[in-house]
Amino acid sequence: MAAEPGKMQAPAGTNGFAPVEAEVLRVRTLRGAWRWLLVGAAALTIFLCVNQQFVLRFFVGFTPLNTEYYYALVLVVLPFVFVIFPGHARARLDRVAWYDAALFALTIAASLVLLVNIRKAAELGWEFGGAPAHLVWTGYVMWALLMEGLRRTGGWGLMLSVLPFTLYPLVADSAWLGPLKGTESTAAQTSAYHVLSSESLLGIPIQAFAETVIGFLVFGTALMMTGAGKFFIDVAFALCGTFRGGAAKVCIFASGLLGMMSGSILSNVLTAGAMTIPVMKRTGFSSVYAGAIEACASTGAVLAPPVMGATAFVMAQFLGVSYAQVAAAAAIPAALYYFGLFLQVDAYAARHGLKGIPREDLPRLWDAIKEGWYYAFAIALLIFMLLVMKRESHAPFYATLLLLALNQTFNREKWGWATVVRFLEVNGRTFVELVGILAGCGLLIGAFSVTGVISSLANDLLTIAGNNAFALLAMAALTSLVLGLGLTTTACYIFLAILVGPALEKAGLNKMAIHMFVFYWGMLSSITPPVAIASFAAAGIAGAPAMQTGWASMRVGSIIYFIPFFFVLNPAFVLQGPWYESLYLTLSAGVGSIFICGGLQGYQLFIGDLRGSGRMEWPIRLLLILAGFLLAVPGGGIMPWSHEQMAGVALATLAPTLALAWWFTCRRRAAAL
């Protein structure tokens, strides 16, 4: 960061909406004809979406079915998985190999055959049997292509997790499957169901992408490429830079602001981290902790409304509700996430004596606002159309048009033709990666759908847990942690929503709270080794060991592993109850978090460094954590105690613990004089 106020610049090459995981995978930068094909594919994808969502009827005399529209998107986007993502570690990145070009052409051919026949398949019910042989064999080809595409975009772990389940219908009637035993299908029936039904390849993930994700990705890209990244970072530096551990607090604030608009973890890391990590290191944070703080701060991007990650749109499809309802439900969990992280960092900075940034080295708030005030109008329009007009599929397109008009009117750096091409290219790469992951994961849903095993599995899980909702929640959290070791956030959510969600519903928990719990835990795979994509990307910027940064991310953000339990125990946390109860629970959880973080970091706000307690330090810290949990966890519902009883026990524990900590701290200060 430059010392001259207001002169901080966003890092080159990071002002676009980054693909979810492209920066941690080996990817090709397309040139020549391949690049222009990608730009054209991105433009065609946006055109198809706008035509379908706004019913513009550009196809005169022909109205495409939804399934035809979905297959058109697969046809346009999926082939590029094989030219952007190389097939192996030794593949050249400066040109497209002949076999990748062959897979590109084969994907086009298979998609085209299925697109042409999908209307007739719907009329004749071919997805349930009787499909012509050529469609069955095309289905086999597409099946294989989807698994290879999943391997290239999500890695071996994701592909090997999904592939057995896509084959599961072939052996579903086997006795050794136990709780997973279901209706068996032949290979031909399974192939037809995977590629012709609206429950598998064309299922919830691709439907979410086609209906809402495209528009929000376009808005996120436009926002970042008009300079929003620099604006939000400047505002964060101006507001938080002078506080203790100021650079880390800037990191949290800036990443929160960016995440609200981009919904991209990697975009956050690369945009904010390139500026905040070096400053954190200069103000006393180790390279490992600087990377860990940025990773945790950026991971909240997929949870922060109004623009959330792709998983939120998949959740809306699972729940059968509008995206606006999901965004509203995420508001309190997102606030608790960033508040808990802020408290952790503040306690860490206080315990280690880390100072803020001198005011003369920071941009002026008014100067930052003057340069980016017009972003507020585009964001306000987006929120108004989401929450008031309930037009989530249209909102991002109108907001993008307004943003571009304002940019061309007020911004010194106006868009030219080269910027438009770059805009389409960045969108195209994002579309390709998401479709590669979402289409492959769709087959997972299709496999469970065709076997009809979900309802029986829910009953079996309840039996295993002894009809105990707490045991089921612990099982869900543990399963998520294990799945997070090898899966992306979206894939992890889909697995848990299918496997554990129905059982938790039968245990009497609120459906929205369950899916938010699963979503939140799936999100944490971004900072949980060995995947930890956010931690690894931040480690690259910080010059720190990747795995050390991953483990440090878990320590720095330890409280955020417990926050999901707060809101799943009472749906008022996700706005599924009276407003006054939501307000009370949020305040109670916020206050409880203060003591949890104090105990975790060894520095209690308003008391001081707990190392002054000598041998009593750890007992005091453990009591603070316990009391904080009692205060933060809601009573009622499946809890045996009410809110008031929980608060009473918490205060009875806190009062003597804080008094003891204060006495030890005062005694140490007196001894130091």
Q: What is the pLDDT of residue 485?
A: 62
In the structure, what pLDDT confidence band is assigned to residue 650 with cuts at 50, 70 and 90? very high
Q: What is the pLDDT of residue 303?
A: 86
Q: What is the pLDDT of residue 537?
A: 85
Task: Look at the block and give the residue holding tokens 């613990």.
Answer: 657
The b-or-e profile of 578-612 (16+ CB within 10 A means b, else e) is eeebbeebbebbbbbbbbbbbbbbbbbeebbbbeb
For residue 112, pLDDT over 80 is answered with yes
Specify the higher pLDDT residue, 249 or 456. Answer: 249
Specify the higher pLDDT residue, 104 or 576. Answer: 104
For residue 4, pLDDT over 70 is answered with no
Q: How far apart are CA 431 and CA 96, in angstroms?
A: 19
For residue 100, pLDDT over 70 is answered with yes
At 414-455, the pLDDT tens digits run 899 999 999 999 999 999 988 998 999 899 888 888 888 776
**Average pLDDT, integer, range 4-30:** 45
Q: Report the run of H or E that residue 70 belongs to, with start and end.
A: helix 66-77
What are the residue ranges spanned by the domains of the chain?
22-205, 578-673
In the structure, what pLDDT confidence band is assigned to residue 58 with cuts at 50, 70 and 90? confident
Q: How far apart are CA 248 and CA 282, in angstroms?
A: 11
For residue 296, pLDDT over 90 is answered with yes
Pairing of strands 608-609, 603-604: antiparallel
Three-point CA angle 388, 317, 402, nearest 5°: 40
Specify the higher pLDDT residue, 331 or 307. Answer: 331
Q: Which long-range contacts (CB under 8 A, 24 or more apart) does 665-671 make?
A: 665/607, 665/608, 665/609, 665/610, 665/612, 665/613, 667/612, 668/612, 669/612
At 465-491, the pLDDT tens digits run 777 788 888 888 877 776 766 677 788
Q: How far apart are CA 628 and CA 621, in angstroms?
A: 10
Q: CB burial class (10 A; 0-12, 13-18, 19+) of residue 4?
A: exposed
Most confident of 293-307, 419-433, 542-556, 635-649: 419-433
Question: Is 225 in contact with 425 (CB distance < 8 Å)?
Answer: no
Q: How far apart are CA 429 and CA 422, in angstroms?
A: 11
Tokens of 470: 């707490």
Find all residues with CB under 8 Å of 666, minimum gap 6, and list them: none
Q: How far apart are CA 92 and CA 442, in angstroms?
A: 30
For residue 14, pLDDT over 50 is answered with no
For residue 150, pLDDT over 60 is answered with yes
Phi, psi (degrees; rounded to nearest 5) at 603: -140, 115
Q: What is the pLDDT of residue 60?
A: 62
For residue 16, pLDDT over 50 is answered with no
Q: How far apart are CA 346 and CA 162, in angstroms?
A: 41
In the structure, what pLDDT confidence band is assigned to residue 94 with cuts at 50, 70 and 90? confident
- Give the chain's mean pLDDT: 86
Q: How far apart are CA 519 and CA 618, in angstroms?
A: 33
Q: What is the pLDDT of residue 484?
A: 65
Q: What percent of the chain has pLDDT over 70?
A: 94
**Average pLDDT, integer, range 335-350:** 90
**Average pLDDT, integer, range 324-347:** 90
Q: How far apart are CA 214 and CA 152, in angstroms?
A: 21
For residue 183, pLDDT over 80 is answered with yes
Q: What is the pLDDT of residue 5?
A: 31
